[in-house]
Structure 1
């Protein structure tokens, strides 16, 4: 029996799965491809990803990827000020994407759709009759609202406005979906409280980790030039919350850590480091790698991993991946939210600079304790963060299995 066709719209090409949102959207694509002939529409905002478009044919019956230049898209998004809408919608709006979506729906007789990121729901609204699963992942509007206090002047005003306008659209678009999913119960409950009119169709479908790939086993030589100890942060380093996290950590916590261990080194591992991140390497014990072929050796040979995010939504894949690698992770309260783990057993939660200093001091001073936390972290991932188990919930939400 042939598979039914499905339209899948994603705000960023879901391959390779090398950053948080792409990990989730790619695993959703793999799930969908088992049950549907998927027609994927996505934007490519990094020229390095264009080489991977052809690889998507393994999971898709058809692929339409459009180049999106972030600088020009930001300028174009300002038209949202004139149309009195969220700038995010204008950022991801093109007539060519809508034309492709309409044509493929008509040509393939598509009746079902899945959307990743609330902004992509604007295309569904323009195509009547599609039964749609909307994976919002996070409450994006809350992210913009969180940004506002970290800025001042016009930017603070713009972030507050974006939070209000995007929430209004998220609520409106949710009425068009048959189900709306979020990465954690905390995010789902936040949206239910802000959009009570659609609470009955809001569900949590958590992230997972490929614990076979992210495993401490195997031959992975150390990428570090010295004996360390090495403390690491991983993530896309042009993403503002990551930039804010490492600059705050180096400014507020790192001097005290470096003072009590003269050999300690801090490694910032991730693509596209912003200028303010590159400037941190003026300290000879702070290293900024840029893009690396494989993040796992950096995790495996780290004495500790930090995630000092002061602005965080949903579930942080960087934390789960480090836990899967049996590393002791020191994580902020915001970054820990949504992760079903025990403070002091599976990871350590810190908030102030003093908290980070003390937590890292304790791990460096007692490697046996660090190892114990790392082993518990991996077991936590194995027990609670299987992609297969979490995505199986979609069988019900997409009406592939009976509701109970």
Structure 2
């Protein structure tokens, strides 16, 4: 039986951010099918500390330290006519390791996680190719440009990434997107003849881990009057920073006009300078990186995800729902999660007055608030468990699962 080559733009350990969580579960599923050889990048000491966990699951692996300055990646992109997203993740070391692995192992399938890694597929590889784009990155950069942010640079990145995404789709046997909306968007950007291999593989959640019965609410939050609103995520990720700043400028003042003790909590690593500059704002606490996000979610009266730009399924939303918390999301943050408004969560456009009114209604009805949290958790357990989400992967990869191969 053949083996699998898995290439990811970040080491899938520890699974502590959205893309790494998805890659982590993909890798574990692939390892049940066949020996997996993993090529990936590490960006910091925390990433490098995951080498032991990777070694335990991979038949072989190559971790490359990604320390290329953005200025150098930009210069390479201009000279080569490629998107910065590709040159930032180009490595001659990894390229050589991929070729050696294919030459010396019986690689039947290459699985690519994130479009940046598609550049490592050799032109002469004749096995199956599965590419998990997750979401349409090119559309994200286009939206940045449309919003007036670094217009020339983001327009260029969006245009070149769109061409690369189309090329990868032609190269792949299966191209995976994270939600029906992303898949429809991607197909709309392709010639009609190219869309046949595009499919959806949603995000899952570990509902046993994100279980309110397993943790106590953070005592610093629960010991203060509130109400408390929590926003989680990688805070140097531009859409998260933008959403948090919108809350500080628009939503928090509106809420505090009705609830003077209301507090907004930003929980996540690498808060940006713009966010840190607001740290003395009344009602704001920036917690930064925490060892466990669950106590902060458990202490929340409501978890908010007011994203203005979002691609794919938001893990932060699924985590909060699994923790039986009421969740307030914008339509952008609701993508790919088929929950029902006013039953499993609240969906609301990014309007401070409308959001405040929705929150007032919820906070004034404790039983309804509790019922929404319980319904949210049950929804996640029923429809977003990782096993259910990844069940189609075996057919896509084309290699029988380990237990089936052993039985044969």
Give the TM-score taking structure 2 as reference length: 0.93
Q: 1:390 to 1:17 in 2, by over 3 A?
A: same
Per-residue CA deviations over 1:223-256 (Å, capped at 9, x if unaligned) read 4243322110000011011000000111011111
Paired with 1:125 and 1:360, the residues of 2 have a C-alpha distance of 53
- Which residue does the alignment assign to 1:338? 336
Give the TM-score taking structure 1 as reference length: 0.94
Q: Pick the aligned partner of 2:160 from 147, 160, 165.
A: 165
Q: Pick the aligned partner of 1:200 from 187, 192, 196.
A: 196
User: Could you tell which deviates more after superposition, 304-313 or 254-263?
Assistant: 254-263
Deviating runs (4+, > 3 A) in structure 1?
none
Per-residue CA deviations over 1:129-162 (Å, capped at 9, x if unaligned) read 231111111111111111112334xx11211111
Paired with 1:138 and 1:74, the residues of 2 have a C-alpha distance of 26
- Which residue does the alignment assign to 1:175? 170
- Which residue does the alignment assign to 2:269? 271
Bigger relative CO (Cα 8 Å, ≥ 6 apart)? 2
* 1:361 CA drift (Å): 2.1
Question: Helix, strand or coil: the match of 2:61?
Answer: strand
Paired with 2:396 and 2:107, the residues of 1 have a C-alpha distance of 18
User: Could you tell which deviates more after superposition, 369-378 or 327-336?
Assistant: 369-378
Q: Does structure 1 retain, via aligned residues, the 8 Å contact 2:240–2:307?
A: yes
* 1:216 CA drift (Å): 1.2
Question: Which sections of structure 1, spanning at least 5 residues, go unmatched?
Answer: none
Q: Does structure 1 retain, via aligned residues, the 8 Å contact 2:108–2:127?
A: yes
Question: Helix, strand or coil: the match of 2:307?
Answer: coil
Paired with 1:367 and 1:147, the residues of 2 have a C-alpha distance of 39
- Which residue does the alignment assign to 1:309? 307
- Which residue does the alignment assign to 1:26? 24
* Aligned Cα root-mean-square deviation (Å): 1.7
Question: Helix, strand or coil: the match of 1:111?
Answer: strand
Per-residue CA deviations over 1:341-371 (Å, capped at 9, x if unaligned) read 1111111112112222222222222222211
Q: 1:84 to 1:219 in 2, by over 3 A?
A: closer
Mapping 1:3-402, distance limit 5 Å: 4-69=2-67, 72-126=69-123, 128-152=125-149, 155-195=150-190, 196-225=192-221, 226-227=223-224, 228-351=226-349, 352-400=351-399
Paired with 1:74 and 1:270, the residues of 2 have a C-alpha distance of 26
* 1:126 CA drift (Å): 4.5
Question: Helix, strand or coil: the match of 2:141?
Answer: helix
Q: Does structure 2 retain, via aligned residues, the 8 Å contact 1:148–1:160?
A: yes
Paired with 1:311 and 1:110, the residues of 2 have a C-alpha distance of 38
Q: Across the two proteins, how many residue pairs are aligned to each other? A: 397
Question: Which sections of structure 2, spanning at least 5 residues, go unmatched?
Answer: 402-408
